[in-house]
Amino acid sequence: MMISANLNTYLIIAAVLLVIGIYGMVQHRSLIGILISSEFILNGASLNFMAFNKFVAPNPAVGQIYALFIMGIAAAEAAIAVSIIIAVYRKYQSEDPEELQDMKL
Amino acid sequence: MIVYRYLAEVLFYALVCLTFAGGIMAVRSKMLMHAVLGLAATLFGVAGLYFHLGSPFLAMMQILIYVGAVCIIIVLGVMLGNTPDQLAAKNLTGRSLPLALLACATGFISLFVATISRTEFSPAKEKVGDMSIEFVGENLLLQYCLAFELISVILLTAIIGAIILARGGREGKTS
């Protein structure tokens, strides 16, 4: 039995991607590092959608469409997050999340 | 013909290794630019996995949108707000390594032991359509038309919001 033609393989890969993302979110000391880690979580989610689409779902287009939507949302989220980080950096001259305590602008 | 199947299997292992190596590089590197490089490697690996899952269209979109757009945006963010050296040095040690490892272990074990290894996923009795781009486009423009339009509105909102946010403090600095 080919391991690449098995649903559980892809689910485990997606779970590892999710765990890498959570680890990076806790571990990184900068806002951009946290943004990078969130991309891993989104990728794990869309890999899950594609795996279920291939092996379980009756309509093989739905998973691809969901993965495309996740990509679009992720692109919008990255653009917004980077511009917020640039604005925060201009205000505080720092990217350390621990220094961003007050919400005054 | 069997040779090609084994070749695809070897390629699958290589893609999984690329994905995980990129992930470890992204979370364990001191410099943010290396983290973005690791992210790009992971995205290439996931694109290859999409190819294995029978959707070359989505693999191309992954490379085009994620590697081509999202990674470039993050690289711009890294270059515009440069991280000080002390902060970069602290990146590796992190805030609390035991807490991070505990969160990861708990998440993975609960996902794997409680969910993936126990559930029996039964495939659908009959499939409609195929994995082709034509069928995806048909579904996108008929059944999921509203979501498709909403995505374009969200992208437009994101563009306008990003421009407004990023040029926010500029007048204050010059005046």
DSSP string, B50-102: HHHTT-HHHHHHIIIIIIIIIHHHHHHHHHHSPPPHHHHHHHHH-S-HHHHHH
Using alpha carbons only, what angle is made at residue A74 by residues B64 and B46, rounded to the nearest 5 degrees?
Answer: 55
My answer on whether B80 and B139 are in the same domain is no
Residues B29-54 have pLDDT tens digits of 878 889 999 999 999 999 999 999 98
**Contact between B89 and A30 (Cβ < 8 Å):** no
User: Rounded to whole angstroms, how far apart are CA atoms A24 and A26?
Assistant: 5
Residue B116: CB partners within 8 Å, gap ≥ 6? A8, A11, A12, A15
Q: Number of folded domains in chain A?
A: 1
Q: Which residues span the domain enclosing B150? A: 130-168
Q: Which residue of chain B has the CA closest to A68?
A: B58
Whether pLDDT at A66 is above 70: yes
Q: Which residue of chain A has the CA closest to B161?
A: A80
Chain B contact for A55, CB < 8 A? yes
Q: Which residues span the domain enclosing A71? A: 3-93
Give CA separation, B127 vs A53, B30, B55, B123, B141, in Å: 11, 48, 16, 9, 20
My answer on whether B80 and B152 are in the same domain is no
Q: Is residue B114 part of a domain?
A: no
User: Rounded to whole angstroms, how far apart are CA atoms A71 and A51?
Assistant: 16
My answer on whether B75 and B143 are in the same domain is no
Nearest-by-Cβ selection for A67 from B42, B58, B147: B58
User: Rounded to whole angstroms, how far apart are CA atoms A44 and A26?
Assistant: 17
Residues B4-18 have pLDDT tens digits of 888 989 999 999 999
| 0.80 surpassed by pTM | yes
> What pLDDT shows up at residue A1?
64
Q: Number of folded domains in chain B?
A: 2
- For the ranges A49-53, A96-100, B110-114, B153-157, the lowest mean pLDDT is seen at A96-100
Q: Is residue A100 part of a domain?
A: no
My answer on whether B6 and B70 are in the same domain is yes
Q: How confident is the model at residue B175 (pLDDT cuts 50, 70, 90)?
A: very low
